[in-house]
Amino acid sequence: MIWQTPKKDAWREKRRLRKQPQRRLVAVVMLFFFSAFLLISLKEQVDWMGLLLALVVPALIYVATIWLPRFFPTDQLLMAIVNFLCALGVLILYSTDGGAGTERGFQQAMYYGLGLVAMLVCILLVRYVHHWNVLIWPMALAALALIALPLAIGTEYNGATNWIRVGNTSMQPSEVVKIVLVLVLSYFMSRRQLLPWLGFVGVCMGVLMLQKDLGTALIYYCTALILFYANTGNLALTGVGLLGAGGAAVLGYKMFAHVKKRVAVWRNPWMYYETSGYQIAQVLMAIASGGLFGVGLGLGAPRVIPVYFTDCIFAVICEQFGVVFGILTLVLYVIIIVRGVSTAVAARRGFYGLIAMGVTAMLGMQTFIIIGGVLKLIPLTGVTMPFVSYGGTSMVSCMGLIGLLQGVSSLNQDDLSYDYEISRALAKQAGVQFDDE
């Protein structure tokens, strides 16, 4: 009967591993996407690509959430949630592709893998780059050049000249500049260099206004303002900044015709249903038709919504899975934001704290702007829903931002572990018990 003891220990070890929160969460996520892709693949006739995705996407989630943290220090909770949202985007795009001859779902899966690489690069950037004073100015100048590039060679898309085409692919430079913006603003703000900070924000905002990319400009401005308040705590100047934003909005409303039009559509989309109000009207009808529990995966008519795959993908989620599912999706975003704020507060260096706060502010503002626009809380502007919307640039940008957050989080964990080990070693040397458990 001696053999029972190691077997019992192994069984207990397995049970302990199964009870780890990351494994329990990832198991549910994998089950969700396996069953969803399996259902989609059996919609009309057996879709082998769907079956492949039913295996590949859960495997990718497992690798990214369980395996990668063994080699790269990451926040597993953030990783699990972000992976779920990315895979949800792949699922929605693949389900709406059925019979339409598009491959957005498959392309989004590839962008998801590319985003994982960008995230790892940003993690390493935060962890192992210490001489930011050398890097920050070239990065800032390159970002300014990149964001101004569409003014010279850009193409207009949905009223904004913020795309550039390279060969058969197109990209949106303002999405990539988001990562640099957070780094540059955090650096200058942590060193209280207000003039370079203001200059960088001002140039970026001016270029975006020239490109008529109002949604991105709003995200940039709010991020800069939140960073300013987080670093200085100066409520008066922050209020002045908010008033300035309000004044600029009123001025833009008076000066630009398309702003007036957008506000009018926001106030009453049904009056402009045939023209400019068609999109928001379809969005509202899709959400309403979904009801609380949705019309079912792969059903409904999401393709009648203009740009359903980027700006209005939240409406597709609500239509197919229901409003309750949509609310739960928002809860996941809230958890990301709360986690980001916790990371920022726990950072021991101002620079890293500002990075975490900047990333959180940027992702939070982007989520609020697009979902608020879809729900008709604010005028609809053309920004993507983080991690879910179709688009390689957006996916890489959002995953890069999460990589910055992951890097700061891992540094915080290192710092705390270091203090813990020091104290435990001292207590051990002193021959006393360390109250660690």
Q: How far is the CB of 416 from other proteins (least distance, A)?
A: 6
**Helix, strand, or coil (residue 401):** helix
Q: Which two tokens stand for residue 356?
A: 């975490």
List of residues 6+ apart from 422 with CB closer than 8 A: none
- Counting residues that bind other proteins (by CB under 8 A) gives 71
Going by C-alpha positions, the residue among 251, 279, 245, 284 that lies closest to residue 265 is 279
Q: How far is the CB of 21 from other proteins (least distance, A)?
A: 4
Q: In whole angstroms, give the CA distance from residue 279 to residue 376.
A: 11
Q: In whole angstroms, give the CA distance from residue 80 to residue 70.
A: 14
Closer residue to other proteins (CB): 11 or 67: 67
Candidates 35, 155, 193, 268; binder of other proteins (CB under 8 A) is 35
Q: In whole angstroms, give the CA distance from residue 313 to residue 309.
A: 5
Express the helix, strand and coil content of the chain in percent, nearest 5 each. Answer: 75, 5, 20
Name residues contacting other proteins, limited to 76-135 (CB under 8 A). Answer: 77, 80-81, 84, 127-128, 130
Closer residue to other proteins (CB): 268 or 423: 423
Regarding 419 and contact with other proteins (CB under 8 A), the answer is yes
Going by C-alpha positions, the residue among 287, 297, 371 that lies closest to residue 332 is 371
Closer residue to other proteins (CB): 337 or 359: 337
Regarding 426 and contact with other proteins (CB under 8 A), the answer is yes
Name residues contacting other proteins, limited to 214-233 (CB under 8 A). Answer: 233
Q: In whole angstroms, give the CA distance from residue 96 to residue 77.
A: 29
List of residues 6+ apart from 186 with CB closer than 8 A: 227, 351, 352, 354, 355, 357, 358
The total number of residues written for the chain in this structure: 437
Q: What are the phi and psi torsion angles at 166 (to 5°)?
A: -120, 105
What's the one-letter identity of residue 33?
F
Closer residue to other proteins (CB): 99 or 239: 99
Candidates 21, 122, 178, 237; binder of other proteins (CB under 8 A) is 21
Q: How far is the CB of 146 from other proteins (least distance, A)?
A: 30
8 A C-beta contact, residue 140 and residue 203: no
Candidates 12, 14, 18, 24; binder of other proteins (CB under 8 A) is 24
Q: In the stretch 294-333, what mask flags binding to other proteins with x, by CB under 8 A?
A: xxxxxx--------------------xxx-xx--xx-xx-
Q: How far is the CB of 103 from other proteins (least distance, A)?
A: 22
Going by C-alpha positions, the residue among 133, 156, 137 that lies closest to residue 145 is 137
Closer residue to other proteins (CB): 22 or 276: 22
Q: How far is the CB of 301 from other proteins (least distance, A)?
A: 14
Q: How far is the CB of 430 from other proteins (least distance, A)?
A: 4
Closer residue to other proteins (CB): 60 or 176: 60
Q: How far is the CB of 397 from other proteins (least distance, A)?
A: 23
Closer residue to other proteins (CB): 156 or 414: 414
Candidates 350, 368, 372, 378; binder of other proteins (CB under 8 A) is 350
Q: How far is the CB of 379 from other proteins (least distance, A)?
A: 29
DSSP letter, residue 384:
P
Could you tell me which stretch among 8-16, 115-123, 180-188, 342-350 binds other proteins (CB under 8 A)?
342-350
8 A C-beta contact, residue 227 and residue 354: yes
Regarding 247 and contact with other proteins (CB under 8 A), the answer is no
Regarding 194 and contact with other proteins (CB under 8 A), the answer is no
Question: Which strand (E) or helix (H) includes residue 165?
Answer: strand 160-166
Regarding 364 and contact with other proteins (CB under 8 A), the answer is no
